[in-house]
Amino acid sequence: MLKRTTVIVATMVLLTGCAQSDVESTTSQSSSPTAMPTQAVLPSIDPITAAGVLVSGDLGSEPIVEILSDAKSATQLVIADQFLGQGAAVQSSSTVLVNYIGIGLTSGQKFDSSWDRGTPLEISLNQVITGWTQGFPGMKPGGRRLLVIPGDLAYGTMPPAGSGIEPNETLIFVVDLIDFK
């Protein structure tokens, strides 16, 4: 019994040490090396925390996003991977096929979600906010990435009317990359 308890505690300490990071660009977890990028759902190993945002949940399902009490408006783009994916990496000029959720940091409210619409978004990274253009390169199919985007890399002083996004608001996106071209 003591051996089993020791192994469980050691595993929890190891996983806890790997799960959190406060650096501006971080990679926290990856999917199994044998996982294929075409798999729809892979279990989450551990949640990730970056810039005061906690992300958990299964790859392929809408993530659970919690804004922690230490979250502050971002002054630079924050990138953190929960799952790395496999294969070739996205370039800044790629067209991506993604599922995503968008949340305003100030309100804590979801303002958009492809999961809510029931269909992924296919869009060129040349047609999106700067935070997405800069935040996707290097991502691989089958990956999940947290982007915490400062207002000046999002919509600045002119957010879309009726979006619920405030001027210069920091935006939180969690994206699952399905594919790209």
Residue for token pair 């925390």: 49
Structural domains of the chain ordered from first start:
2-180 (3.10.50.40)
Residue for token pair 């305003």: 104
166 contacts 108 by C-beta, under 8 angstroms = no
How many beta carbons lie within 10 A of that of residue 17, not counting itself? 8
For Cα atoms 103, 61, 165, give the angle at the middle one, nearest 5 degrees: 10
Separation of alpha carbons 74 and 128, rounded Å: 19
Residues of the chain with pLDDT under 50: 1-44
Separation of alpha carbons 84 and 80, rounded Å: 10
Buried b (16+ CB within 10 A) or exposed e, 119-156: ebeeeebeeebbbbbebbebbbbbbbbbbbbbbebbbe
Separation of alpha carbons 41 and 18, rounded Å: 22
Nearest CA among 111, 165, 154, 146 for reference residue 21: 146
pLDDT tens per residue, range 62-109: 999 999 999 999 999 999 999 999 999 999 999 999 999 999 999 999
pTM, two decimal places? 0.76
pLDDT at 10: 35
Element (H, E) at 149: strand 143-149
pLDDT at 46: 74
